[in-house]
Chain A
Amino acid sequence: NSKVIQTPRYLVKGQGQKAKMRCIPEKGHPVVFWYQQNKNNEFKFLINFQNQEVLQQIDMTEKRFSAECPSNSPCSLEIQSSEAGDSALYLCASSLQVNQDTQYFGPGTRLLVL
């Protein structure tokens, strides 16, 4: 199904620490999305990119996260100062184009903030 690669699969951090996760989109997919799925299984869109440019992001991402999708390198999402409420599954998805295209999720990075 999906050829999106995410690392690490599991990440444990203390409060206040940085937490960085990476995503390699499917080959040839210029559009990348990050979502957060919390312990109640609720999804939250965080940010999306087309090539290296941010298309849209929520306030939380802008204030607390650092995200980029450099050319020829994995995309990354980094929480600058982890909080307990950041414990969640972080899912990366990629698609071929922005308009109405299928998003395939990677395996996710499960973050636990102690």
Chain B
Amino acid sequence: GEQVEQLPSILRVQEGSSASINCTYENSASNYFPWYKQEPGENPKLIIDIRSNMERKQTQGLIVLLDKKAKRFSLHITDTQPGDSAMYFCAASITSSGQKLVFGQGTILKVYL
């Protein structure tokens, strides 16, 4: 299978706290895992990605973890701000399938004051 499961579907956090979104994938051949942020009426924008040769990547308040054994990857947003409120999508892809992205169902993140 090629499904990607994403949880939670809705996440409410207080400003300044951290937010975590988890994804699992079925195909162990998956080798590339991007995260996209999408605001209402806009296109998805890449915020961070990780390749299968890494277990952790961090950039500007974002941390991505990859556990290949468990087929699980996660996004952690530290010190959340109201501007982080948006929909977030994880995705996975496999070279042998032409690198098409298979997306999770999305997480609505709401950061409240």
Contact = CB atoms under 8 A, between A and B. Distances in A.
Interface stretch (A21-29, A37-45, A66-74, A76-84): A37-45
B44 to A, nearest CB: 5
Contacts of B34: 102-103
A33 B91 CA distance: 14
Interface string A79-114: 000000000010100010011111111111000000
Contact of A55 (B31, B89, B98, B102): B98
A2 B43 contact: yes
B32 A100 contact: yes
Contacts of B105: 41-42
Contact of B100 (A42, A56, A91, A101): A56
A42 B4 CA distance: 12
B98 A56 contact: yes
B60 interface: no
Interface stretch (B45-53, B64-72, B77-85): B45-53
Interface of B: 31-32, 34, 36, 38, 42-46, 49, 51-52, 87, 89, 91, 93, 95, 97-103, 105-106
Interface pairs A-B: 8 shortest CB-CB:
A43-B103, A56-B98, A55-B98, A45-B100, A100-B32, A105-B43, A108-B43, A98-B99
